[in-house]
Structure 1
Amino acid sequence: MAIFLGYAAATMVAVFCITHFFHRRLCCRHPLFTDYPILGMLPHLLRNMWRFQDFVTEVLKQHGGTGEFTGPWFTSMNYLVTIDPLNVHHVMSKSFHNYVKGPVFRDIFQAFGDGIFTADSETWKFNRDLFHSLFKQKSFEVFLEKTIHNKVQNSLLPVLDHVYQQGSVVDLQDVFNRFTFDNICSIVLGNDPNCLSVDFPEVEIEKAFNEAEETIFHRHVVPRCVWKLQKWLKIGQEKKMAEACIVLDEFIYSCIASKREDLSRYEENETGETFHVDLLTNLMREGKGKGEGEAHEDIFLRDAVFNLFVAGRDTLTSALTWFFWLVATNPLVEAKILEEMNEKFGSNEKTVLSAEEVKKLVYLHGAMCESLRLFPPIPFERKQALKADVLPSGHEVNPSTVILFCLYSMGRYEEIWGKDSMEFKPERWISEKRGNVYVPSYKFIAFNAGPRTCLGKDSSFVQMKMVATAILHKYHVEVVEGCIAKPNLSIVLLMKDGLKVKLTKRET
């Protein structure tokens, strides 16, 4: 009897496994890799995790730009992965309301709270309208330019001068990290922590942001049940996430409390002067928290500040780091940038150009677009379908299907950029009339696409150009021998081991 029951159980398990296997084969009609029993396609991904971005690019090119990834059985790691611009346009614009971030996305990105990056529907619309009104205020634009100008003039260039005088090697990514952190603190909080100084002080909050972002990437490549268990047990990467969130929340909530005291004192004094044009102050004055009472408003402010920090710090650090690596390793491009600066401004003694001045630099703009094409700060975008749909590529989308856009891979896709897609070629962005070429956002998606296009796109270009022209005007940047530019594994595309360089002063 026991033997019979054993055979029956084994038969049932075998039938179930075979049925499940063929069901997965039926559902996954366009697999990117071999779908192993139990483990799905995860082994392929884990074997190539050390070169994740380039591996995904190669596989997608082999499959015409779109395919399906299935994770281990009974997990939610099933994705439709695409770099087809028509699919991007369909999801991000034409059928915008059918594709959302979704609850699973918010769970993975839980550190972002209900901020603009994770929100959907009315919550997203409220956040976007609010930030749009703040960014477009003339007083804020003036404040932003003044803040950047002062930081470049009084901190960035003096630190680089010190490095040059010492003849030492410097991690330019670390310099930009500190620069953007000080900048975003000034812009969002109205307070400069002076992390960019010659003694390079350790910044705990910066480390916490990096830990949180790396954990979010980790949550994309391991089954949800695994990272949930790690979170419950407080071990591994999830332990780092928990510790990082404590540091981040303590920092942000203390800033909010301090700002409330400042505003209270200011209102009591009523001097009539114009102060406090930083974003946190403006958000508080709007008085539009998501609930009633100060505690609810503090949660809203906390989420807003966190999202602004990620948008205004890490993305700019990434963009500047990869730009300088590309320019340093392409001397002809560097020469053309300097030639354009000389043509436009001659022997201008100004060390930092204004926002209006940098907008005149067409070749520099092309070089930056080209850098963002090859190394987009946010390497992938995630969407979830609400209703069944069919993409322009012919791939069927079921309700709750998760779609991944690989922005890094899109920048290297020959179908979009031609046979020379792997070349750093600023000229592709310049017209015959010496103006900048417009490329639709569903092809050049570094700043997202459709209704969710980045609100800070224009200000980001201004900041990058002000920094780039100030450094290139004064210094030649040389990458030290042995420094390998390798992307890290995170939701923001930074260099894994930093950008080690030496500086040479230009002859005046």
Structure 2
Amino acid sequence: MSISFSQELLISTLAIILVPLYMLYLRSSRPKNPPALPTNWPIVGVFPYLIANFHNLHDYLAAVLAEAGHNFRAHGPPGTGLRFFITCEPANVRHIFTTNHANFPKGAEFAAIFDIAGGSFFTTEGEPWRRQRARAQRVLSNPRLLVRMTACCRDKVENGLLPVLMHMATAATPFDLQDLTTRLVFDMTAAPLFGVDPGLLSPDMPPMDAAAAMDTVMEVALFRHTVPASCWKAMRRLNIGPERKLAAAHTVLGGFIEEMVERRKKEHVANEGDPSSVDILSSYIDDLDYQQNDGLLHATLINYMIAGRDTIGTALTWVFYNLAQNPHVMSAIRNELSPIASRKAATGANNSSTMVIFEPEETKSLVYMRAALHESLRLHPPVPIERKTAVANDVMPTGHVVHAGDTLLISLHSMGRMEGVWGKDCLEYNPDRWLSEDGKKLRYVPSHKFLAFSSGPRLCLGKDISFMQMNTIVAAMVWNFDMEVVEGQRVQPKMSCVLQMKNGLIVKLKKRDM
């Protein structure tokens, strides 16, 4: 049954009035040792707890799921349709993502939340999704495109990242590493996508309007996930609150995509037949379905930007943070890189006298560095929460019953922090947990336990590309520089659908003596 605008406004108003009252009641009646589990209160459900803990939502969910045994059921105010089953149990994840995945699509509400990517394979289901995914798989497996993406990554490291880092090290200037990795990965994603380099990682550090707009999309999306749809839809109609900010972000992103498409269309005609002009956009420009539907083309391009920029850029910042906090891990990675650097020095293969640049192929088989990356992704998955909807009633492997229409929230962030999943040292950064006994191979860990690249039919198509990029960037930075996280800053996740750091990551660098 559809809800009118007046009904949306009424429900939103009631929530605004009742939630603070319930929070005051909770505060006044709170026992000395309150339980970790929130109470499903009448009328407002767990909504007061979500509001009270929204600033630290990911850690709060981890505490709740640890107390509840990896699974928790919650509901929101009546009439809002907020019925949640929250889980981080690997057996349930396998059931949801693989065994009975047809019963757990992302759902219409997910598509509404990410309306900016509406119609793309990020939000669609069924035959449209299968058709678009097959198309994306063909595009991303194109050997020419893979060569270009590899070359783009290598070039950005040598001619963009390392000179900037050298400047920062020479000046001994503290800087925001998250800002730098965002610029780097935005360029690395956009160049092979549009065939045009935005040039955000340049000496003058230009404004990042499109990147900032993408951040806004992800922040407001988390807000949409956690409040009744009637609430955020009423805000959207009234153009107030987070929805006002989101509307401005949509305008900026739409303008950026349109500019990139128009520039590439002109170059596509001029350079037709040039093998060096291969890019992702060109493979869609001549497709009749996309020619006749600019909205679908734009949504698909934003889908690629999210998949590339948000995930890799976010992951890298946490990788460097974890390495800086664990110097012995950084030393072990350098020991693994040392034979490669020695060979390059002996053969004169390195073009720079002061920097060592590692080719993507040289780092592909490095076991310990891959283990270090996996461990960072375990503790800090770029996408901390996945959302699904139950089509029909079902029973989870743990015995929990879900009903048709229930929203399932899978907390990846919590899964990496569960003692029952990863052992008593689950909160420690320990790459050794990924290694075989002799340390020469990676242990097999099923995707439903390590969900950083999703699982089942929606397994990430760009996983190998992601590791190629991270290997190349991490190797260059770890080998050439010592890094120190500036003391006194509070490192915590931003409340967003991607696990960026709320306050950035301020670091200082020192050039290593070779």
Under a length normalisation based on structure 1, what TM-score does the superposition of the two structures give?
A: 0.90
Structure 2 residue aligned with 1:326, among 322, 325, 347? 322
How far the C-alpha of 1:470 sits from its partner, in A, is 0.5
How far the C-alpha of 1:288 sits from its partner, in A, is 5.1
Establish whether residue 283 from structure 1 lines up as the match of residue 284 from structure 2.
yes
Establish whether residue 398 from structure 1 lines up as the match of residue 403 from structure 2.
yes
Alpha-carbon distance between aligned partners in 2 of 1:395 and 1:208, rounded to the nearest angstrom: 39
Structure 1 residue aligned with 2:444, among 432, 438, 444? 438
Alpha-carbon distance between aligned partners in 2 of 1:224 and 1:303, rounded to the nearest angstrom: 22
Partner residue, 1:238: 243
Across the aligned residues of Structure 1 and Structure 2, the Cα RMSD in angstroms comes to: 1.4
How far the C-alpha of 1:344 sits from its partner, in A, is 4.4
CA change 1:39–1:410 in 2 (3 A) is same
Partner residue, 2:103: 98
Q: Residue by residue, what CA displacement relative to the aligned partner does 1:231-276 show, whole Å, maximum 9, x if unpaired?
A: 0010110001111101111111222222222223334xxxx54232
Partner residue, 1:311: 307
Structure 1 residue aligned with 2:454, among 423, 448, 452? 448
How far the C-alpha of 1:421 sits from its partner, in A, is 0.6
Larger Cα-atom Rg: 1
Matched residue of 2:72: which SS? Answer: strand
Which portions of structure 1, spanning 4 or more consecutive aligned residues, are displaced by more than 4 angstroms? none
Amino acid at match of 2:336: E
**Larger mean Cα displacement after TM superposition, 493-502 or 352-361:** 352-361
Alpha-carbon distance between aligned partners in 2 of 1:301 and 1:143, rounded to the nearest angstrom: 22
Matched residues, percent identical? 38
**1:32, 1:69 within 8 Å by CA — same for their partners in 2?**
no
Task: Give the 5 Å matches for 1:203-218.
Answer: 203-218=208-223
Alpha-carbon distance between aligned partners in 2 of 1:214 and 1:416, rounded to the nearest angstrom: 29
**1:476, 1:505 within 8 Å by CA — same for their partners in 2?**
yes
Alpha-carbon distance between aligned partners in 2 of 1:330 and 1:242, rounded to the nearest angstrom: 41
Establish whether residue 108 from structure 1 lines up as the match of residue 109 from structure 2.
no
Establish whether residue 480 from structure 1 lines up as the match of residue 486 from structure 2.
yes
Structure 2 residue aligned with 1:409, among 411, 414, 435? 414
Alpha-carbon distance between aligned partners in 1 of 2:104 and 2:227, rounded to the nearest angstrom: 23
- 5+ long unaligned stretches in structure 2: 1-35, 351-355
Alpha-carbon distance between aligned partners in 2 of 1:144 and 1:234, rounded to the nearest angstrom: 40
Alpha-carbon distance between aligned partners in 1 of 2:51 and 2:241, rounded to the nearest angstrom: 17
Partner residue, 2:15: none
Partner residue, 2:82: 77
- 5+ long unaligned stretches in structure 1: 1-30
Amino acid at match of 2:490: I
Establish whether residue 189 from structure 1 lines up as the match of residue 210 from structure 2.
no
Amino acid at match of 2:224: R
How far the C-alpha of 1:32 sits from its partner, in A, is 4.7
Task: Give the 5 Å matches for 1:97-496.
Answer: 97-267=102-272, 272-285=273-286, 287=287, 289=289, 294-296=291-293, 298-346=294-342, 348-349=344-345, 350=350, 351-433=356-438, 434-496=440-502
**Larger mean Cα displacement after TM superposition, 78-87 or 35-44:** 35-44
Establish whether residue 504 from structure 1 lines up as the match of residue 504 from structure 2.
no
**1:377, 1:446 within 8 Å by CA — same for their partners in 2?**
yes
Alpha-carbon distance between aligned partners in 2 of 1:136 and 1:197, rounded to the nearest angstrom: 30
Partner residue, 2:21: none
**1:162, 1:198 within 8 Å by CA — same for their partners in 2?**
no
How far the C-alpha of 1:114 sits from its partner, in A, is 1.2
Matched residue of 1:447: which SS? Answer: coil
**2:170, 2:510 within 8 Å by CA — same for their partners in 1?**
no
- How many pairs are equivalent? 469
How far the C-alpha of 1:402 sits from its partner, in A, is 1.1
Alpha-carbon distance between aligned partners in 1 of 2:343 and 2:172, rounded to the nearest angstrom: 27
Alpha-carbon distance between aligned partners in 1 of 2:194 and 2:479, rounded to the nearest angstrom: 31
Establish whether residue 37 from structure 1 lines up as the match of residue 42 from structure 2.
yes
Q: Residue by residue, what CA displacement relative to the aligned partner does 1:379-419 show, whole Å, maximum 9, x if unpaired?
A: 00011111111110111111111111000000111111111
Alpha-carbon distance between aligned partners in 2 of 1:402 and 1:318, rounded to the nearest angstrom: 26
How far the C-alpha of 1:456 sits from its partner, in A, is 0.4
Alpha-carbon distance between aligned partners in 1 of 2:512 and 2:489, rounded to the nearest angstrom: 23
CA change 1:205–1:386 in 2 (3 A) is same
**2:358, 2:475 within 8 Å by CA — same for their partners in 1?**
yes
**1:178, 1:195 within 8 Å by CA — same for their partners in 2?**
yes
Partner residue, 2:10: none
Amino acid at match of 1:58: A
How far the C-alpha of 1:299 sits from its partner, in A, is 2.1
How far the C-alpha of 1:507 sits from its partner, in A, is 1.0
Alpha-carbon distance between aligned partners in 2 of 1:209 and 1:355, rounded to the nearest angstrom: 28
Partner residue, 2:6: none
**Larger mean Cα displacement after TM superposition, 352-361 or 493-502:** 352-361
**2:193, 2:280 within 8 Å by CA — same for their partners in 1?**
yes
Alpha-carbon distance between aligned partners in 2 of 1:411 and 1:93, rounded to the nearest angstrom: 20
